[in-house]
Structure 1
Amino acid sequence: MFLATLLLLLPFFLFVSRSFFRMHRKQLPPGPNQWQVLSYLSELMHKPHFKLGNQLMVVASSPDYAKEFCRTHDGIFSGRHLPAVYHYLQGTIGSSIVLSPDCGKSWKLLRSICQNCVFSSRVVESSAWMRKTKAKEILDHLRGKDGEVVNLEDLMFATLANMISSVLTSRDLFVINGGAAKGDNYEVMMDIVNEVIEGTTAPGLVDFLPILKGVDFWSKGKAKDICRKIKLTWGDIIQERKSFGRENPSSNRDFLDTVLSDTTFSDDQIGNALMEILIGATDTTTITSVWLMVELIKNPEMLSKVRDEISQAFKGDELNESLLSNNCNYFQACIKETLRLHVPAPLLVPHRATEACKVNNYTIPKNSMVLVNAWGIARDPSYWEDAPIFKPERFLESKIGHRGTHFEYLPFGTGLRMCPGSTVAFKNIQILVGSLLHYFDWSLPNGEDISSIDTNEKYITTLKKEKPLLLVSRIREQNVVG
């Protein structure tokens, strides 16, 4: 057994040695050498911050370096570094927005379609009624669960997924109605979406050691399973639209209408694009909503301020999105502070150098993986007073915004590859969490002290709450759901 293991590892060590001496001749950014990395290989598989195998990782951990990579040299570092499994998915190349390997023609077309059909100010404003409707559905569900323990994280995920899928396809993915999630749709769809997220974003060993590509059966098998799940999610919806058209032909064209009208997209490509947008618009937004609930529940005085602000704005009327945006400044500050303290994607989506580039006299070789340490920057005491503390007041008088123009605060990234849905995310979070706080009181199961709420995190490619958010909801009698 030992001899077989040694023979398998010998090519790897030879490859590492050759790479080390070749890379040593270049003026690379400072960092540990490959032999040091080998000493904590298992840790780096879960916290990839440096160099693994022959893959050079460059980490920008200051606003100045984030600006160098994402503005000064934005074009060069606008490529994406993709997990091996992604290359085996049918129709992915040429049908991706977030994970497109470069900003080529197909990326520009899809991004333009997505901007016009999903993220434009016209669409965002015209879909306010839909967000309100979806928020009411989760409120109705919780009214039927009064006093019971609910998995609030799953419910928020399903609600946010319905918000984006309604814009994409004029259809809900999850059924949340009348106090119960009906049928198997809810749990099945949740499992599918979560498996696709982890399968397409989490790197495998071959991503750091391409020498193993010839025996990488895991990536091929995983890609096949992911393709099946994407078709299970979107296949019937696509075919139904192609065969029967829209239920309401007089309404505005949605994203699915637009991509179907362009005959260059295959069904696989359309399914991939739909799944990518769904995940991009739902997963990180759910993470932020969960942490926002946790932070406010942990801090009763802050929660009271938010509720008073909402009540003053509505004066007993049903939730109004424009009032939430314009009149609830403290609530907005709480959302911004949550995005600072709990950056959903702590290293953003990995960038790739499309060609060699000099950055502050350091050589960044072509195809280097570039990570922007948004988590570290957002907690750096050099830029943030009381950095580890949840302190919404810091944003009340601050001009720092979330649109990627302040490099000490990059929850949605910046530059060419900035998330196009930041405005939609804010709207979705405020109407969902605002509704939950306004109409319900929240406590831990079994009467546990709220200060003991679990705040441990787990990192895959996003930074989530380690354990599900299980809470008991109680209807606030002074408020009536409109």
Structure 2
Amino acid sequence: MSCESKLPPGPNSLYVLTYLSHLIYKPHRALQKLSQIYGPLMSFQLGDQLMVVASSPDVAKEFCKTHDRIFSGRHLPSIYHNLPGIMNSSIVLSPDCSKSWKLLRSIGQNCVFSSKAMESNAWIRKEKVMDLVNHLRTNEGQVANLEDMMFATLANIISTALTSRNLFDIHGQAGDEYKMMMALVNEVIEKTTTLGLVDFLPILKGMDFWSKAKAMDLHRKIKQTWGNIIDERKSMGRVNLSSTQDFLDIVLADSSFSEDQIGNALIELLIGATDSTTITTVWLIVELMRNQEMLTKVRDEIAQAVEGDGLNETLLSQCNYFQACIKETLRLHVPAPMLVPHRAIETCKVNNYVIPKDSMVLVNAWAIARDPNYWEDATSFKPERFWTQK
């Protein structure tokens, strides 16, 4: 039996073309409907690219855990391919697990995401949150843009952890600097998650001047964001071997990384630490405001936990109902509905179907989180499903 005959079931190319507008504008909803016809593991051809979609927990586990190494590659849109230095500096969207990817991931883990780093950086989070609280107190009674304030706070937290500097003043959100940063983050997210015609028809790459021009414009903006910070650190000579090194110290000490590579890594880490957390926080507050009884319960629980001790992350982690609300928000409002597109770095067999090398694998987390086969009253906000009373 040929490899093609062992592919997961799915719609033919003609049907995909008639369904294309739905796949472009609301892919998670469109793929959910297709999975109800073809099953939780399906495939279809989009141009020259084979698309494989997982729409159930069991199938998602095959790609994200059982065969995680084989599907550890990522698909880069054409614009991202044309960014100078990106192939050896992308942490989130690296096409494969190269040596530079492993090194950058290790540095990021040690400086920001490990348990030790999280504990040592607790003062940063507390300081930036208090900046936000004081800003809200100063502007009591005025309309507040919650999304902007959360992004600004989170951006300063990760920027301080990475470069020992704020990106901008929390009190000056309306300034040009803040607007430029928000625009850059949104642009990078759009360019890294939106695949163009050339991504599915490689024959057009020779005529793809648009992607190259947009990539150079994006490169200019990234350099404008981080260039001064990198140059300032270099001029200070703050590259040492002390225990107080931040991410920027370590990558500058390694002469194998160019300024372009460092800037690319910094913008990816910034987006990774701000975008999904901002979305989740805003939706959490929206859901609690819609449910005043839940809001009161959360307030009472937090007030009781921190009484007399002030703001403390450890105490907040012990607020079981509050944690359940966060989990329910992540379920109902998945920050990245399709996750990051995976790439098969070699041919693999999943559930008796062949997944060829270079297939693009999508995990429809949105569909899984709302599947009535796994969640009772799946479209309702019910933190109680995660609540463990003690």
- The question of whether the paired residues in 2 share the 8 Å contact of 1:174 and 1:185 is answered with yes
Q: Deviations over 1:232-252 (max 9, x none)?
A: 110000010011144999771
CA distance in 1, matches of 2:281, 2:76: 27
* Cα distance, 1:324 vs structure 2: 0.7
1:124 to 118, 123, 126: 118
Determine the C-alpha separation between the residues in 2 that align with 1:114 and 1:206: 32
Q: Deviations over 1:450-482 (max 9, x none)?
A: xxxxxxxxxxxxxxxxxxxxxxxxxxxxxxxxx
Match of 1:37 in 2: 16
User: 2:304 maps to which residue?
Assistant: 312
Correspondence for 2:55 among 58, 61, 64: 61
TM-score, reference length from structure 1: 0.74
Mapped to 1, the partners of 2:371 and 2:77 lie a distance apart of: 29
Aligned to 1:223: 215
CA distance in 2: counterparts of 1:287 and 1:107, whole angstroms = 27
Are residue 258 (structure 1) and residue 266 (structure 2) matched? no
State whether structure 2 residue 5 is matched by structure 1 residue 26.
Answer: yes
Q: How does 1:428-443 map to 2 (within 5 A)?
A: none
Q: How does 1:28-427 map to 2 (within 5 A)?
A: 28-48=7-27, 49=31, 51-177=45-171, 180-181=172-173, 183-246=175-238, 252-315=244-307, 318-326=310-318, 328-397=319-388
Shift of 1:173: 0.7
**Alpha-carbon contact 1:341-1:388 (below 8 Å) kept:** yes
Q: Distance in 1 between matches of 2:323 and 2:77?
A: 35
Deviation track 1:415-464 (CA, whole Å, cap 9, x = no partner) reads xxxxxxxxxxxxxxxxxxxxxxxxxxxxxxxxxxxxxxxxxxxxxxxxxx
For residues 217-243 of structure 1, what are the alpha-carbon distances to aligned partners after superposition, in whole Å with 9 as ceiling and x for unaligned? 221111011100100110000010011
**Contact (CA 8 Å) 2:324, 2:387: kept in 1 or not?**
yes
SS at match of 2:361: strand
Give the superposition deviation at 1:183.
4.5
Retained in 1: the 8 A contact 2:240–2:249? Answer: no
Q: What is the aligned residue count?
A: 373
Conservation of the 8 A alpha-carbon contact between 1:379 and 1:388: yes
CA contact (8 A) 2:239 2:253 kept: no
Distance 1:136 1:211, change over 3 A: same
1:464 maps to none
8 Å CA contact 1:199–1:222 kept in 2: the answer is no
The structure with the greater share of residues assigned to helix is 2
Residue 370 of structure 1 deviates from its aligned partner by 0.4
SS of residue in 1 equivalent to 2:179: helix
Q: When the two structures are superposed, what TM-score results if normalisation uses the length of structure 2?
A: 0.91
3-state SS of the aligned residue for 1:256? helix
**Secondary structure at the counterpart of residue 150 of structure 1:** coil
Which residue identity is paired with 1:382? N
Shift of 1:26: 2.8
Pairwise CA distance, 1:71? 2.2
- 1:113/1:258 contact within 8 Å kept: yes
Return the offset for 1:188.
2.2
SS at match of 2:263: helix
Query: Equivalents in 2 of 1:314, 1:295: separation in Å?
Result: 23
2:148–2:173 Cα contact (<8 Å) kept? no
Q: Secondary structure at the match of 1:45?
A: helix
Distance in 1 separating the partners of 2:190 and 2:157:
22
1:115-144 Cα shifts (integer Å, max 9, x gaps):
111111111011111111101111121122
Q: Structure 1 pair 163/71, CA: closer, same or farther in 2 (3 Å)? A: same
3-state SS in 2 of match to 1:107: helix
For residues 290-347 of structure 1, give each alpha carbon's deviation from its aligned partner in whole angstroms, at most 9, with x where no partner exists. 1111111110000000000111112265322111112x11111111111111111111
Question: Whole-Å Cα distance in 1 between the matches of residues 241 and 177 of structure 2?
Answer: 26
Task: Verify the 8 A CA contact 1:288 1:342 in the aligned structure 2.
Answer: yes
Deviation at 1:184, TM superposition (A): 2.8
- What letter matches 2:364 in structure 1? N
Identity of aligned residues (%): 71
Distance (whole Å) between structure 2 residues aligned to residue 182 and residue 246 of structure 1:
32
Q: Which amino acid aligns with 1:84?
A: S
2:320–2:388 contact (8 Å) kept in structure 1:
no
Ranges in structure 1 where 5+ consecutive residues have no aligned partner: 1-22, 399-482
The RMSD of aligned alpha carbons is 2.0
Structure 2, unmatched stretches of 5+, are 32-43
